[in-house]
Amino acid sequence: MSRLLAAVLCLPLLLGLLPAQAGEEALFSADGYRLDRYRSPTPASVEGAQTIDTATLQQLLASDQPPVLIDVFRRPWLHGRFASDEPHHNIPGSLWLANVGEGRPEAQWLDYFAHYLERASGGDRARPLVLYCKSDCWLSWNASRRAAALGYTRLYWYRDGIDAWQQAGLPVQAATPEPLP
């Protein structure tokens, strides 16, 4: 029984839910955003958004009020511009808002995210938004939480992202991140 109790008590530490020991980095911030190991298995859901699969996304895109697609894949920012380290593709019609899924983004990325969400939604916080990245990517999980914190109410998290879209044989487009306003 004592081994079971010890295992249960250690579980939060193993999952990165407790503060890190000296010299270690916690996996989550105090306000619940993932801070590290962004390309690792994600949970099945995220608070504030509905998790969707490829078939559901296709249905949403074919609806009378299709959602705004928001790709949040990272792109290095060097010397005041995005550095092109490799080509990136996303779902046709997507806005690529790079770097907004970081666990502790700088203020410029928070402003960038808020600016483009406001613009893309036309100020309608109930406008459907789909946030995605790649499969097993915490960046879209963080961005979904952040959009909910900004007051957006019809959020969808496309958990398996562009990887699932491409595996389904669906078209992609060459992408460029939206510029900093």
- Find the angle CA(129)-CA(17)-CA(24) to the nearest 5 degrees: 115
Q: What percent of the chain has pLDDT over 90?
A: 78
Alpha carbon 97 to chain centroid, angstroms: 10
Q: What is the CATH number of the domain that holds 149?
A: 3.40.250.10
Inside any domain, residue 149:
yes
| pLDDT number for residue 26 | 87
Q: Does residue 46 share a domain with residue 26?
A: no
Based on the structure, what is the number of domains in the chain?
A: 2
Quote the mean pLDDT of the chain: 89
pLDDT category at 25 given cuts 50, 70, 90 is low
Residue 45 domain boundaries: 37-174
Decide if 180 is inside a domain.
no
Domain match, 79 and 159 both: yes
Query: 18 and 61 share a domain?
Result: no
Structure tokens at 178: 């939206």
Q: 114: which 2 tokens?
A: 């808020």
Find all residues with CB under 8 Å of 87, minimum gap 6, and list them.
Answer: 174
Alpha-carbon distance of 37 to 30, in angstroms, equals 17
pLDDT tens digits, 120-149: 999 999 999 999 999 999 999 999 999 999
